[in-house]
């Protein structure tokens, strides 16, 4: 039986990478999926792929660092599907720079996309879930939300905030039967990972080879992370809340 049969999900950053893989997997598992992203062409392509496979999907253009766009995204999803059971706060960006190399503009943009979007979308979605008697929120954090990393000051700060915001939300909204967890991916083969090589001035092949130096000997695939998100979204994780699930091929193990 499909693990998400009859569920309704909203995914931020759903046009590519981990968001796209999760949208496809959720739809395969029976969920109606709404995507919110700045990339209209990419988002619509994911929707069409889901519909061709017989699933239900909706694209909502929007900047999730803006309150009005977040409120509109949740409202559109609820209008389309009649409710909202799962929110996957996945949108994110990275700037590879030390504290002294980071401009105020870059700092504020990283925080807006990686942290404020979680706050805004959750603030819009939680009352809907409360009224329905419960729901699930999954946030995309990072291994670098649990440990520091080089030349990524804003990103590490933002993902550390996501991890602890997840815990605080789990405490506050457990009594409302809303489970809140985060997934902490290691290096995953997405456009964002490849952008890091450019930001650091490193050849892409060399950068990816270094990223693969972990116990399992490879970088992650978006589908690897999507499977972890599916677990947290499903009833298989019915007693899991406030958790930071590391999915990194053993990168933080030693």
Active site residues: 155
- From first CA to last CA, the distance across the chain in angstroms is 38
Q: How many angstroms separate the CA atoms of 195 and 141, rounded?
A: 18
Residue with tokens 């598992």: 29
Helix (H) or strand (E) holding 211: helix 204-211
Nearest CA to 117 out of 75, 71, 78, 77 is that of 71
Tokens representing residue 66 in the block = 């803006």
Find the DSSP H helices in 53-201.
67-81, 104-111, 117-132, 153-173, 191-200
| Residues facing 138 on adjacent strands | 88, 181
Question: Nearest 10 degrees: CA dihedral of 125, 127, 129, 133?
Answer: 170
């Amino acid at each position: 039986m499909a693990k998400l049969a009859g569920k309704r999900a909203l995914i931020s950053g759903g046009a590519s990478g981990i968001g796209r893989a999760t949208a496809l997997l959720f739809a395969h598992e029976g969920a109606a999926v709404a995507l919110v992203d700045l990339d209209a062409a990419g988002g619509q392509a994911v929707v069409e792929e889901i519909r061709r496979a017989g699933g239900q999907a909706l694209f909502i253009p929007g900047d999730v660092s803006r309150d009005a766009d977040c409120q509109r995204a949740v409202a559109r999803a609820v209008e389309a599907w009649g409710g909202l059971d799962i929110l996957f706060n996945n949108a994110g960006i990275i700037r590879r720079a030390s504290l002294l190399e980071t401009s105020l503009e870059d700092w504020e943009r990283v925080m807006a996309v990686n942290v404020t979007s979680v706050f805004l979308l959750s603030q819009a979605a939680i009352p809907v879930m409360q009224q329905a008697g419960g729901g699930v929120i999954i946030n995309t954090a990072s291994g670098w939300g649990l440990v520091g990393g080089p030349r990524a000051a804003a990103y590490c700060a933002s993902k550390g905030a996501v991890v602890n915001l997840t815990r605080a939300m789990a405490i506050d909204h457990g009594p409302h039967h809303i489970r809140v967890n985060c997934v902490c991916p290691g290096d995953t083969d997405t456009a964002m990972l490849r952008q890091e090589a450019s930001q650091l001035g490193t050849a892409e092949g060399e950068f990816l080879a270094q990223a693969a130096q972990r116990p399992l000997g490879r970088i992650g695939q978006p589908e690897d992370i999507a499977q972890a998100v599916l677990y947290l979204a499903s009833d298989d994780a019915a007693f899991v809340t406030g958790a930071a699930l590391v999915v990194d091929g053993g990168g933080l193990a030693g």
